[in-house]
C-alpha cells in the first residue's frame, strides 16, 4: 500500500514541476501534498501531541489540512468507518521512507495510542507505553473485535514444564519371548521360500538359454513344380 502512496506522490510532484503551479488540484489530487492542501495555521493541542509522537515514531515529514481533519473525525466515527478514517489519516502524510511496521500493524498502533491517550489529549510517552505493545483495542462494532479473538496459549518452557517422567518407571515393560513353535514356523517358511527361489531361478535360466540359442528351422524358399508326364516339357 505504501508503494502506491509513494508513486502517487512522485506523479503529483512531477506535475507540480511541469506546470510550475502551487496548486494543481484541477489536474491531479494528492491529499498528502502540503502545497495543494496547506494545514491550518492554528493547531489544536491534541494535534500537536499527535504529530510530535507520530513524527518521532515513524518517518513522517509533512502533513496537510486533511491530516487535521481525519484526526478530528476519529472522535465520532464508528465501526468499520474507524479503519477507513485511519487509512485516510495515514495516507494524508508524506514519509521519508516506508515505515518498518507493516500497514495493518501501523494502523492498529495508531488506534491503540489514540484510545489510551483519550484522543491524544494525554502524552503518549507517559500513557501509551505503560501498556503492553501486544494489547489491541479494537472498535466494538468492528468485525475484528477482540471479543472474537482466540486466547493466547502460554509459551512452553522445558525447564519449568512438568513432563511426568516418573510415569515411565512405574511399571516394567513386558516383552513377549518367542517359543519353539515360532522358530519351527519360521524355518519352514524360509525353506519354502528358498525352494521357490531355486525354481524361479532355474526357469529364468531356461528362458535365457532359449532366447540366446533359438532352434534352427529349414523352410522352402519357392514352391517346386511337379512333373506329370504327357505333353509337359521336362526341362521346363
pLDDT beyond 50 at 135: no
How confident is the model at residue 174, as a pLDDT? 58
How confident is the model at residue 144, as a pLDDT? 43
C-alpha 110/C-alpha 106 separation (Å) is 6
Would residue 236 count as lying in a domain? no
Q: Report the range of poorest mean pLDDT among 17-31, 57-71, 99-113, 182-196.
A: 182-196
**Mean pLDDT (whole number) for 13-33:** 93
Tell me the whole-structure pTM to 2 decimals.
0.55
**Mean pLDDT (whole number) for 153-158:** 52
84-114: buried (b, 16+ CB within 10 Å) or exposed (e) per residue? ebbeebbbbbbbeeebeeeeeebbbbbbbbb
CA distances from 77 to 40, 84, 171, 217 (A): 22, 10, 66, 102
C-alpha 69/C-alpha 47 separation (Å) is 10
Would residue 37 count as lying in a domain? yes
37 pLDDT band, cuts 50/70/90, is very high
Would residue 187 count as lying in a domain? no
Would residue 11 count as lying in a domain? yes
Would residue 164 count as lying in a domain? no
Average pLDDT, the chain: 78
Would residue 172 count as lying in a domain? no
150 pLDDT band, cuts 50/70/90, is very low
Q: Are β-strands 94-95 and 60-62 bridged in parallel, bridged antiparallel, or unpaired?
A: antiparallel
For residue 50, count CB atoms less than 10 angstroms from its CB and return exposed for 0-12, middle for 13-18, buried for 19 or more.
buried
C-alpha 64/C-alpha 172 separation (Å) is 77
pLDDT beyond 70 at 6: yes
- The percent of residues in the chain predicted with pLDDT above 90, rounded, is 47
Domain ranges, residue 106: 2-144
Q: What are 189-229's pLDDT values in tens digits?
A: 777 777 766 666 676 677 667 666 666 555 555 555 666 66
Would residue 158 count as lying in a domain? no
**Could you identify the residue written with the cell 478530528?**
72
Task: Count up the domains in the chain and report the number.
Answer: 1
How confident is the model at residue 142, as a pLDDT? 46
**Mean pLDDT (whole number) for 110-125:** 92
pLDDT beyond 50 at 121: yes
Amino acid at each position: 500500500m505504501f508503494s502506491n502512496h509513494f508513486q502517487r506522490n512522485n506523479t503529483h510532484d512531477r506535475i507540480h514541476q511541469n506546470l510550475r503551479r502551487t496548486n494543481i488540484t484541477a489536474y491531479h489530487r494528492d491529499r498528502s501534498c502540503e502545497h495543494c492542501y496547506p494545514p491550518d495555521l492554528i493547531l489544536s493541542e491534541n494535534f500537536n501531541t499527535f504529530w510530535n509522537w507520530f513524527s518521532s515514531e515513524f518517518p513522517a515529514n509533512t502533513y496537510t489540512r486533511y491530516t487535521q481533519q481525519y484526526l478530528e473525525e476519529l472522535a465520532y466515527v464508528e465501526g468499520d468507518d474507524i479503519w477507513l478514517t485511519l487509512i485516510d489519516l495515514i495516507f494524508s502524510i508524506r514519509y521519508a521512507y516506508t515505515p518498518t511496521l507493516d500497514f495493518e500493524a501501523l494502523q492498529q498502533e495508531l488506534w491503540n495510542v489514540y484510545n489510551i491517550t483519550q484522543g491524544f489529549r494525554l502524552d503518549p510517552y507517559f500513557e501509551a507505553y505503560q501498556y503492553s505493545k501486544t494489547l489491541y483495542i479494537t472498535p466494538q462494532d468492528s468485525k475484528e473485535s477482540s471479543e472474537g479473538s482466540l486466547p493466547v496459549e502460554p509459551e512452553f518452557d522445558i525447564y519449568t514444564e512438568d513432563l511426568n517422567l516418573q510415569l515411565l518407571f512405574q511399571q516394567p515393560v513386558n516383552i513377549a519371548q518367542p517359543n519353539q513353535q515360532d522358530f519351527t514356523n519360521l524355518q519352514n517358511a524360509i525353506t519354502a521360500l528358498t525352494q521357490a527361489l531355486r525354481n524361479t531361478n532355474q526357469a529364468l535360466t531356461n528362458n535365457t538359454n532359449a532366447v540366446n540359442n533359438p532352434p534352427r528351422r529349414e523352410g522352402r524358399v519357392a514352391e517346386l513344380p511337379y512333373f506329370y508326364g504327357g505333353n509337359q516339357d521336362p526341362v521346363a
